[in-house]
Each structure stands twice: as C-alpha cells, then as structure tokens.
Structure 1
C-alpha cells in the first residue's frame, strides 16, 4: 500500500509538471479537474507495466539490485508511452524540453523512492520479528528449511526469525517457555509466533492458554503451514504425508461455474491467438529449420492429461532428431540435445505454439500444470506419492509452477514445482490466472524461458 501511494504521488506530480509546461499557469486543482481522463489513462498505463514487471512483488522490490533496473525501465516505458499516446503534445521546442524533463525526472524520482524503500524503509520498518515454536528442534535439516522459507533472501518476505524454541511435554520446560512468551509479548519484542507442530497435539495441548494471552497483546500467531502458503504461494507438502486431502480441498474448484466459464473463455481466446501467431511464424520457422535445425519441423509425444489419461501433443522440434535413442531422458538446464535454433524457440516459448491445438480440442488448458510423460510420472510417484494429484485438472501450456520456478530437472525440482501446482489447484481464480498471464508475458518479453 505504501509503495502504491508514493508511486501514484510521483506519477500525478510528474503529470502535473508536464501538463503545466504545456498550459502555463495551470493550477493543481484545475489540473485535476481538466485532466482527469489523462490522469486515469496514465495510471492505467503504469498499472499494466507494474503487473508485467512484477513491480509490487516483494520478492523483487525489496532488493536494491533488482528494483534499480525495474524502476528504470518502467519509468522510461511509462513516460514515453504516455507522451506518444497523448493528444496534448504540441510540436515546439519549449515543450520538447519539458518532455525531456518529464521522462528523466519521473524515472529518477521513481528510482530514488524505490531504492530508499528497498535499502532503508523495508529493513528498518517492515521486517517483523518472529519466533518459531516446534516439536522438531533437533531436526537440523528441517529447521534450516523453515528458516530459509520464512526469511527468504535478505528478508524478502518481511520476516526475521529471532529464535527457534523446542516444545516438549515436560511441565517445567513448558512453564519457562510460557513465561518467556508472555514477557516478549508484553515488551513488544516479537511480532509473530510461528507454530510448527507436526503431530498437531504437543504445542496445542501445552501452550494454548499462553498463545491466547499473547494474541491479546497484539502478537500474531500463525501455523508454519499457513505462513508457508502465504509467503511462498505454494503448499508445504512435507507436512501432508500421503493425506493430500488435508491440504487440498478438492471440492470447491469443481463447482464455481463462473470461474469455469472464465477459464474456458481464456482457453478459446488464447487458442485463437496462439494458432494465428503459429500460422504467421511457421513459414519463417520452416525456412530457418532447413539451415539451423535440420529434420522434421514438428514432433509429437504422448503426455498425461486430466485423470491420468494420455493425450498426444505437438510442438515445434527443438532437439536433435535422435534425442532419445538411448531411452527416455528428462530435459535439463544446458541440455546438449537442444539445437542452437531450438534454444531460441524455447527461450521465447515459440516451440509451445502447436499445443494450442490441444487447448482448442479441450485436451489441455492455457493455464495448468505442465503435462509430463507417463514414464517419468511413474518414477516420480515412487518418490513423491502426491505427484499424481496434479492430474485433478487439465495440464496447461503455462502455469503457476512454470512462472514461479526454474525448469525442473530432478526429483527435488519436481517436488518444488508440485508445491506450486497444488497451490494453483487449491487457489485458482480469475486474479491468479491474470497474474500467470502477465508473468508469462514477462518471461517471453525478457527472454527468461528455459
């Protein structure tokens, strides 16, 4: 909210300067009254850019090294877009000077404000002090995972763990811990208490009364499971065991007919757009394929779809012809089987375009878990029992796991991507779909594909 308010203040102030330089002696009140549509138009351009560039994603904007290029590009693109689409830009030298000041002035102000936020305000004001209560204090690997997932890099999630306290059933230990929690809460030393109780009994039975008291003191009490879902936007599968229904309410997304109508509409529109682009690009790709990627233009492969049913998908070929002469092999980062031309196709996701035919037929969706081959799924299920639950919905060309996590190449990567896939299945909505669409545009525009 603070970021948005200050961004809007800088935007309106800059627009006021720009229009005041065109219409001399234009007061601020009259500017707001006369140029309401221009202000709303500018806010609209800025809003679209912030979504594409993840300008309000705290994983990015809490770090100076990331916010600098983001603010620079958004500042330039916004001001230039506004100028070239505005009908109020007279062609004279005086206004040209104002245009230069507007472009670089807004960009500089935006950069300075965002750097101050990332380097000063975020760390000193918004980072919350946390403690973790757990029955797994001696599990060093798990404790390390908890600390890493809660804090992120450079406290990007706005949370800092002050201490991790083990909870046992020993009455003396519980009494000491209760007094310590109440003392920290009364002195405002802690903002959030994170409860990580695998058996769901020990902490609740021993500390419920104390936790109610600290809640009354203004301290937030939250389970690690809930916190993980909020800050990582993924589901912590290590606490689900084989009971997927404990973390995945599978009924709600089957009965929201308005959402299903939206999802179908997106599939149809995306398919028409994708297949149209494919038809335009196919002659060019065919020609380049003759020189840099010799062999068939397309390749077909069976993948697992909704309900475990196999579907035949088509893609532009990006690997050498005999890529699997030694048997099925998962693609990996820097895969030597990918041709030089194939790397370009993959980076900007052009190789995916033929799959829109599968979307149009209803076998796939535009947004959903990445379709995988049956031979790999059978192996993954042996290590990740919940892996099969991603087939509750149709696979997609793009998806939450695809835009949030790098290209998977091993069991650990598949496990992490499954956490994002199940988060999408549990929380899919119009707003989440829109976020995925804009993040996909960001991936293509900035050459971030695998």
Structure 2
C-alpha cells in the first residue's frame, strides 16, 4: 500500500488552511463576544463580522501568496510575512466594524484580539513547517519512458522559472521502453517497496511490453498512483508540457466540444464591463498627466500604436502610452526586455506602475480584447513561434487579454524561449478556463502590480 505519510500539495495546503481557519474563527468569536460591549451584540453584528473576517482573510491570503508552501517552509517568511498579513487582516476587520456598526469595545479583550491573532497564526505556521520537515512528503517515482523523452523530463521536473520547485516527486527507478529490458523479480520487489507513483512518458502506449503492462495494472490494484507525463506536468505546474516529445495536439490540449457555459460568459461580461468603467476613468485621469510628462521628459507622440494578432488570427490595433524613444524599432522589430535601453526615464516610471498599459482599454471597448486572456503578440513573432511550435495558433481561439495566466505565473518575457514557456500557461488557461481560474488571475494580477512582478 502507498505510504500514508505522503501528502500532496493540495492536501498540505488544506491542512494549513484548516488550522488558519480554526484560529481566525476563534479570534473572531472572541472579538464579537468579549471585545465588543455586550449591549451592542446582535445576530446581525455576528453574521457581519464573521462574513467580513472570512472574506478579508481569504482575499489578503491569496493576494499576498499566503499559501505558497515553498515560502511557508522558510522561517524568515513565517516570522515576517505571517505576522504582517494577519495583522493587516485584524486591522481590516476592526476598521470595517467601527465604520459599519455603532459599537463600543472593552479595551483588554480588544487588545488581545489585535495582538494574539497574528501571534497565534505565526506559531501555528511555525509548527506546521517543522512537522513537515520530519514527515516525508516526497513521492518516490518509477519513471517509464522512451529515450527521446528522458532529457525533457529531467529538465521539466527539476526547475521552472529558473528556481527549484516543490514537485514532491523523486525518481527512484527508471525503465526505458526502447531497451525492452525484461522485468525481473527483483525489479518488481523494488517497485512494490519503494515506489508510490508511476509516471509514463511515451508517445505510443502500444509499445509497452506485456510484463510492464501487468506491472502497471498490478500497481493500480494496489492503490499506487499511475499517471501520464502530461497529467503530471499539468497538475504540478498548472501548465501544458509543449516541449515534451509527446507533442500530439490532442494529447496536449484535449480539445473537445462543450456546451456553452453561460455562467462563464456572464462573469466575463461583468468583469469586462465593470473594469472598463473603472480603468477607463483612471485612463482619462492619467492622459493629461502623461501628456505633461511627455512635454518635459519624453518628447514625441503620446500614444504608441501597434498591430497585434487577436482572436482567430485577425490583426487589430493596440494602444499604449509611449514609453520608448521615438525610433525604437528603426533597426527592426525586437521584443522588449526588462532593462531595455530604448525605454526613456519617464517611460520607466510609466512601466513601473503599469500606466503605459492603460490605453489598452480602447481595444477592450472596441471588442478586440478582454481583460483576461492570452496576451496579444505581434505577427512577426507569431510567425516565428508557429515555425517552432505547430500549434501556437491555438492561443488565438479566444480573445487576447490585458492580463492572463502566463503573466501572473511566469517572469518578464524577453525572448522567444520565454514566449514558448508562456504558451504552456496560455494553453492551460484555454483548456481549464473557469470562473475560479479567472478569479485567481484577478487576485494574482493585483499582487503583480503591487510588488512589480511579471509583465
């Protein structure tokens, strides 16, 4: 049987969330029943405070990446960020309660709520991180592959974004289908004792030897995890493995006809409509400020216009506040880089606060773009990427967006290689598009803008 001590990422996050919720709800209960003067306590007040508290905590936790297990394991993060986020949550609950409800407080219970809630969360997370330093959480893998897949697999499971990732999978045994080695009794015994998961990476399952098929079937019956490489990659990284040799279009994207999802369409319309009003107002307020700034620090046209490839491969004109010198592409089309010398000092300020992106609201209003979707790319780069990846155009199934899954999950894109990696996230979004995923993108976009991450 699989080792019971092994917990995957979702299970660990759930345990962490349950512990947080117990503390938060207990603290809110103390706040209502002991910190607030009893003559003001009512059912309406209790429901309001608990609702505000839960929404505030979950929103702040997600925006500030409170459930990133890689960070949770770092003591520096526990001692600083945990206390900071929880203190912010306590402050929000207190301020909203004061503004919404006409109440008075008992000072000592109120002080306990303000101080002990952040400390309790910090201690719980410190305990959580130390427990999982002792309990094994890595799944031992039997990796079944053909020779062409080996190099890509080892690159993909070890690093992503240039940083070590907590995949919780470790290759203990390997089996090459090409060598067609007979499986002996010792191999079966080793797999039975050491292995928790079998990952299969092959283009043709017909090439699996009969004795290997029997072993896989036996592993399934014994309760071991058996997954394809595509499923492993998608579940671990929330992206599609487009660089795998296993590049069948249907294996990667699994496109199938679906009924129209009305709730998704209504949600998208609501997001586009509401954000168009909000960002459109900000855009109008910024126009005179940027215009004056350009007169002194960035002489030239106010707007930068460029054709991009949109839905169904049709080109449209996108607008931005100009952040580069006037003749930025006199030597030909180039992708913007993080420290691009063509960016003016004033343009760098515009990019830092994402002000240069605001005129894209014009494309949203015209119906060429939406707020959430793959970022539109220039045709010259689309053609280059189509030569590298025969199904790059799949990202044009839906309208491009101002922000997207690739923008909040991957670093600043500077070259075609980065575009290939971002495509993995774009295809994942197209395949798994949902209201929940859109909400995650919105929250992560807020984090990206606040902390100047991504592009």
Post-superposition offset of 1:399: 0.4
- Cα gap change, 1:254 to 1:382, in 2 (>3 Å): farther
Tell whether the 8 Å contact from 2:180 to 2:209 is kept in structure 1 after alignment.
no
* Aligned twin of 1:195: 200
Tell whether the 8 Å contact from 2:411 to 2:453 is kept in structure 1 after alignment.
no
* Aligned twin of 1:282: 287
Q: What is the count of residue pairs matched by the alignment?
A: 438
Tell whether the 8 Å contact from 2:87 to 2:114 is kept in structure 1 after alignment.
yes
* RMSD (Å), alpha carbons: 3.0
Tell whether the 8 Å contact from 1:133 to 1:164 is kept in structure 2 after alignment.
yes
Question: Are 1:50 and 2:61 an aligned pair?
Answer: yes
Name which of structure 1's ranges 131-140 and 372-381 shifts more when overlaid on structure 2: 131-140
1:241-390 map, 5 Å: 243-252=248-257, 255-390=260-395
Tell whether the 8 Å contact from 1:408 to 1:414 is kept in structure 2 after alignment.
yes
Post-superposition offset of 1:434: 0.7
Where 1:134 maps in the other structure, the secondary structure is strand
* Aligned twin of 1:172: 182
- For 2:346 and 2:184, the matched residues in 1 are separated by 63
Give the TM-score normalised by the residue count of structure 2.
0.86
Tell whether the 8 Å contact from 1:132 to 1:193 is kept in structure 2 after alignment.
yes
Tell whether the 8 Å contact from 1:235 to 1:247 is kept in structure 2 after alignment.
yes
Where 1:359 maps in the other structure, the secondary structure is helix
- For 2:109 and 2:348, the matched residues in 1 are separated by 44
- Cα gap change, 1:174 to 1:376, in 2 (>3 Å): farther
Q: 1:82 aligns with which of 87, 93, 96?
A: 93
Post-superposition offset of 1:56: 2.7
* Aligned twin of 1:434: 439
* Aligned twin of 1:224: 229
Where 1:35 maps in the other structure, the secondary structure is helix
- Give CA-to-partner distance per residue, 1:242-296, whole Å, 9 cap, x none: 6423322334467334322322332222222221110122222222232332222
* Aligned twin of 1:157: 167
- For 1:300 and 1:162, the matched residues in 2 are separated by 54
- For 1:235 and 1:126, the matched residues in 2 are separated by 28
Where 1:447 maps in the other structure, the secondary structure is coil
Where 1:173 maps in the other structure, the secondary structure is coil
Where 1:78 maps in the other structure, the secondary structure is helix
Post-superposition offset of 1:89: 8.3
* Aligned twin of 2:20: 7
- For 2:25 and 2:58, the matched residues in 1 are separated by 13
Tell whether the 8 Å contact from 1:304 to 1:373 is kept in structure 2 after alignment.
yes
Tell whether the 8 Å contact from 2:144 to 2:176 is kept in structure 1 after alignment.
yes
Post-superposition offset of 1:431: 0.7
- For 1:384 and 1:45, the matched residues in 2 are separated by 43
* Aligned twin of 2:46: 35
Tell whether the 8 Å contact from 1:129 to 1:162 is kept in structure 2 after alignment.
no
Q: 1:422 aligns with which of 419, 427, 437?
A: 427
Post-superposition offset of 1:37: 3.5
* Aligned twin of 1:130: 140
Give the TM-score normalised by the residue count of structure 1.
0.87
Tell whether the 8 Å contact from 1:132 to 1:196 is kept in structure 2 after alignment.
no
Q: Which runs of 5+ in 1 are unaligned?
A: none
* Aligned twin of 2:6: none
Where 1:133 maps in the other structure, the secondary structure is strand
Post-superposition offset of 1:116: 3.0
- For 2:377 and 2:152, the matched residues in 1 are separated by 29
Tell whether the 8 Å contact from 1:347 to 1:449 is kept in structure 2 after alignment.
no
Tell whether the 8 Å contact from 1:130 to 1:162 is kept in structure 2 after alignment.
yes
- For 2:298 and 2:211, the matched residues in 1 are separated by 66
- For 1:401 and 1:198, the matched residues in 2 are separated by 27
Q: 1:121 aligns with which of 131, 144, 148?
A: 131
Post-superposition offset of 1:146: 4.3
